[in-house]
Structure 1
């Protein structure tokens, strides 16, 4: 059985639905959902009647059986040509979450996907660090290591799944592949692109807490080598288990391709995603008067500590991309990508905390008993960014003697500019009951915005070369080298660094379907890579330290094995690894100056399974054990040597499996476990571990129409996703269920 990228469709009988009809329907979500559900049932009934009449006239029956492709197994190769060998022959851990897996699990955001991916834990922003996706991979932050179609995404915000083919997680230091950062790994979002098959998928769903979601995916060829594709999404309602926390987001992603299947191809794409939702920082957490080993307070999980009539968040992504490809031959190819992005992250939100505050009555704020109180503070931000990036790759194959080479050489130029506005005049501080907060208080306030100012810019120039050398059918070597010239200017300080990073690997294949590998790689985190937010990548360095601090350096080794078994239907992976940062940012205990005298390391074990056990039984599972340790870290007079690195769970595992009981009926279920995490350097504040259970059932009435019912967090477990250094604890959704109907015109 071979792996595939996407299902093949037949020529359709129906045209594309007009865009204005979708826009009108988005303004009436209930009508659109009812139309999808009711119309699809009607079409299904008509189709069944027509099929019955045709069957009565059938003289004979011929049954054709084709192999069933695994929908959870990753494709044979990663999407980027920078991976110059098939995944089985790549000396790195790469986890790929396919579109089918995302849909089966009912994931609608990148945060949903990462929440159920072993080896990844989530972090939180609170103002200085912008709100949005903040993953930690193998112990290190990767919020600025998110890519879209292999090109760095400079935005800080919340990503969606409606336009994704897959999510690819590269584990371990990845600067040789992706440039700056990538200490623990990087994340690539592979988007949907035009195909030469005609289809229109329309979906609508309803769930508890007033949740609703509608999507459309329409692909229309207009010639034998050209096609257009349009993806649409609108979602609303509330977050289950979080009192009145509303979700309001929409997106549109058109694209057009010319020359598909030809030597020269051009793809133009655009994406607009907008979030207008209620920010929710969860529950107040830390209090200096409480004893060691502090966990979040025992409060009802649905309590909302924000302000319904005040708090807001507007997060906007606009992304335009032009990709040109030309095949000079099967062994020599050219690709150029140009992308322009502008973003906005604008919010006013409540930061709940204790902080030994004093209530308006003058009494200390207690965290125990019926009189317990907490404090609300404003956190406001207006931050926008513009980025322009151009990447050119030459890649292909050649042979020197008996050695076969698969290579890529490239150059990259980029510029990012960050802007901000001051925000004043919010409601300010107030106090409320911990166990019965009133989020509907009336506030008198007047937001005042300053002029838009430039926070600074980043310019990068890069050159890189990767080569996989097949010495024999059983032995191959991989080498990669990249140079980045990184220049940052925050309007008061500037710095330029030249960074060399490399990747080395060796693969031995005892059998054609199995490999054992070892690899070594490096990464660099320059000062100022998080321009526009407080703090550095993994330490305390801010803008004032840009001029005096060079890049942090990390090195990592990995030993692993990969096997494709059961006629290549099922992929098994295992790896042990260590990442060591020997010059992490820290503070001098005497002067308080930020220096590069810190050290930390993460050791770990990772196991993975993906694919099909039988043609009816799919599985995706993984388990990770991490040992994240601070070997040297100072902050003023505080010494944190020997402590566990914050935000990181030592143990995490996930199992998701589906079984086709009949060709029409599929059931599925999963378990997700995340271990406890310290959220401060002292290792005092702890987010407790959690285990959640999910389930799914889908019925395929016919080729066109299906209905799927998902229940996530069946036990309504209190899930603490993240915390910002123990000030507050973000709450994940409670029990959530959604009934979704999909109709495919083809």
Structure 2
């Protein structure tokens, strides 16, 4: 459907990628440095044919693939990690690029859906749509980082330009600043290499799915290289009637000085999601509170509007990373990041809000064929802009017999939120629960108010980390961070300054193993989610700014890590507890919000990743969580002793591949997600599920391969998330994708 005809704003709101790159580049002096790299993207599209003409395949020297593609890397990407991961007293889960490709994951949500210890949350229109993970029982939607720098805007992240996903478990404010109660997620992007290679993939699947990607790299000098990644994806979500997918991404990057003491990398990323928003099926009904699980309607039923609903999510990121090695023991890095995003949508919010308690009519009885649900409008135009500068100085030195590996740095950031009010919406209506009609025509005209500043956040941070190697067996890990956090929504404002720290001890009974204990803290200041909640029905708004000090969390962890089979296989185990002792809660007598709440999560986590032998790779994990509300009031309701909503007690995954023939690799696995409550009262339940996936890849030669992925083989009814029981998001059904890949080096 033509968006303009449906009452949407002029097309100039979302310019073409090249226009947006130009706009971003000219919005600030920093951006001008990126324009040269962005311009090169057009020329790089010709890399493949031009380079292919020069290649003589008979003389190509082939390097064998790494024989442990799922193995956790020896070090994290951030210099704040001052020890190898084996000797870091904290759980860190790494999902490698090879694992992402083998599983056919195309989005961050796909990756996290099969990662133990993580559950997914949902927006509802007022709370923006996009990635909303919960790590170890606590929300991490604003704790997503790209190359170590916070990505504040709520959006849907893609995998086409990702080398790995690092999930840092446990309170991480010492590393990341505000938030990070349960952990944080870092997306490590692809970088130019001193090599020439090209890879192109095209895949087709059921539900008219298709996806194409290009990854090309050119070495243009002894120390310079250019890399370009491009992605386009379309089709529908399997098992969801007419819910379309329309994505585009382009990510050029340019590097100078590779292999020398002084290096500069310029990169730009543009990702668009122009898809059909789908909030799933209506869930909670006050008329029949005994129905505490989603009603089993036809999973293909779509409760939105095909001719009305839309979502335009655009994320533009420009980054400059300058590095200099003074010596092998002292290094400097400065990262400057400018981002812009747009989250613009009109969606249908399905609910049973039309059915109040005591209503006995057939329309409010889900057991009746004439049952109805209510369809409400949710609309938003919200833009965010951020400029962040992060400086790191890191290296090593000795004090007597003690070796210090240190990292210290400064971070400055400014994040701004802009809104437009939206009126002229189609309006509320009722429709059949069992036979909804998503193809109705509506007479409406969207109207947009002027763009207004909705809020801003300013941060200033100082941090220091040190790993002290006492001897070959024992080391101590420390970290300290000071943050100044200023938030303003132009109605209220608040400034907080707070410390966070971590302390860990590591004992190595063997060179390839460690046993550790650690303690850490995190802080959640009021207004940290500014712009990520509130403001439903097109109204401007954001998270409330309370006149309260930051919430505080403290955590301990006891664990062990081992690298086995000549460092090809990693196994980990950890026991942990996180307590939030100053959680926001409502005083039932006065109605005031106070820091009188308490909650905690205890758990066990097991993991294995790597290769059992050169043919057999494995990635598996299990997490047990006991998330409990110790004290929490909302109005006159008391939730003491209940389980924290959205969190499963148990989750597990197993994925393994085996090279049965020199050219044939097969793989498969299963992911389990336990039952989750969708509300604080623990009345509404999202049932547990098991999802089975499989793949097979045949390599005709070193240039050409064909891969088949079948996900959710049993077509299990998967409920990804819920927004406090109002509706339940339905995950994809059975999907097939056959992908052909051509590469040369």
> Match of 2:282?
284
Q: 1:176-255 to 2 correspondence within 5 Å? A: 176-255=174-253
Question: Alpha-carbon deviations, 1:532-553, whole Å to 9, x = none?
Answer: 13369xxxxx968524111100
1:557 pairs with 2:556: yes
> Match of 2:265?
267
> Match of 2:31?
none
SS of the residue corresponding to residue 300 of structure 2 reads: coil
1:109 pairs with 2:116: no
> Match of 2:637?
638
> Match of 2:676?
677
CA distance in 1 between partners of 2:533 and 2:735 (Å): 35
CA distance in 1 between partners of 2:65 and 2:286 (Å): 62
Q: CA deviation at 1:68?
A: 4.9
> Match of 2:255?
257
Task: Decide whether the 8 Å contact of 1:486 with 1:497 is kept in 2.
Answer: yes
CA distance in 2 between partners of 1:67 and 1:101 (Å): 13
- Tell me whether 419-428 or 186-195 shows the greater mean CA deviation: 419-428
> Match of 2:82?
84
Task: Decide whether the 8 Å contact of 1:507 with 1:517 is kept in 2.
Answer: yes
Q: 1:391-470 to 2 correspondence within 5 Å? A: 391-470=390-469
Q: CA deviation at 1:357?
A: 3.5
CA distance in 1 between partners of 2:472 and 2:67 (Å): 27
Task: Decide whether the 8 Å contact of 1:460 with 1:484 is kept in 2.
Answer: yes
Instruction: Give the direction of change, closer, same or farther, for the CA distance of 1:489–1:65 in structure 2 (3 Å limit).
Output: closer
Task: Decide whether the 8 Å contact of 1:293 with 1:684 is kept in 2.
Answer: no
- Tell me whether 421-430 or 318-327 shows the greater mean CA deviation: 421-430
Instruction: Give the direction of change, closer, same or farther, for the CA distance of 1:293–1:509 in structure 2 (3 Å limit).
Output: farther
Task: Decide whether the 8 Å contact of 2:363 with 2:370 is kept in 1.
Answer: no
> Match of 1:59?
none
Question: Alpha-carbon deviations, 1:558-595, whole Å to 9, x = none?
Answer: 00000011111100000000000001111110121111
Q: CA deviation at 1:356?
A: 3.9
- Tell me whether 374-383 or 287-296 shows the greater mean CA deviation: 287-296
Task: Give the unaligned 5+ runs of structure 1.
Answer: 1-17, 25-31, 55-62, 537-541
Q: CA deviation at 1:66?
A: 7.3
SS of the residue corresponding to residue 210 of structure 1 reads: coil
> Match of 2:529?
530
> Match of 2:321?
323
Task: Give the unaligned 5+ runs of structure 2.
Answer: 1-39, 536-540
Task: Decide whether the 8 Å contact of 1:575 with 1:607 is kept in 2.
Answer: yes
1:591 pairs with 2:578: no
CA distance in 1 between partners of 2:139 and 2:349 (Å): 22
Q: 1:558-707 to 2 correspondence within 5 Å? A: 558-707=557-706
CA distance in 2 between partners of 1:709 and 1:567 (Å): 31
CA distance in 2 between partners of 1:406 and 1:733 (Å): 46
CA distance in 1 between partners of 2:398 and 2:290 (Å): 63
Task: Decide whether the 8 Å contact of 1:264 with 1:327 is kept in 2.
Answer: yes
Q: CA deviation at 1:389?
A: 0.2
Task: Decide whether the 8 Å contact of 1:293 with 1:686 is kept in 2.
Answer: no
Runs of 4+ in 1 over 4 A off after TM superposition: 18-24, 63-68, 542-545
SS of the residue corresponding to residue 498 of structure 2 reads: strand
CA distance in 2 between partners of 1:217 and 1:485 (Å): 40
Question: Alpha-carbon deviations, 1:626-659, whole Å to 9, x = none?
Answer: 0000000001111000000000010000000000
SS of the residue corresponding to residue 472 of structure 1 reads: coil
CA distance in 2 between partners of 1:671 and 1:638 (Å): 39
Task: Decide whether the 8 Å contact of 1:493 with 1:543 is kept in 2.
Answer: no
Q: CA deviation at 1:375?
A: 0.8
Task: Decide whether the 8 Å contact of 1:69 with 1:615 is kept in 2.
Answer: yes
CA distance in 1 between partners of 2:549 and 2:105 (Å): 39
Task: Decide whether the 8 Å contact of 1:545 with 1:594 is kept in 2.
Answer: no
> Match of 1:171?
169
Task: Decide whether the 8 Å contact of 1:652 with 1:674 is kept in 2.
Answer: yes
Instruction: Give the direction of change, closer, same or farther, for the CA distance of 1:399–1:717 in structure 2 (3 Å limit).
Output: same
Task: Decide whether the 8 Å contact of 1:73 with 1:610 is kept in 2.
Answer: yes
Aligned residues: 695
Q: CA deviation at 1:426?
A: 1.1
> Match of 1:136?
134
Q: TM-score, structure 2 length as denominator?
A: 0.91
SS of the residue corresponding to residue 100 of structure 2 reads: helix
> Match of 2:28?
none
> Match of 1:482?
481
1:304 pairs with 2:307: no
CA distance in 2 between partners of 1:494 and 1:585 (Å): 18
Q: CA deviation at 1:355?
A: 2.0
CA distance in 2 between partners of 1:72 and 1:217 (Å): 21
> Match of 1:28?
none
Q: TM-score, structure 1 length as denominator?
A: 0.90
CA RMSD, aligned part only? 2.3
CA distance in 2 between partners of 1:534 and 1:276 (Å): 21
Q: 1:498-517 to 2 correspondence within 5 Å? A: 498-517=497-516
SS of the residue corresponding to residue 251 of structure 2 reads: strand
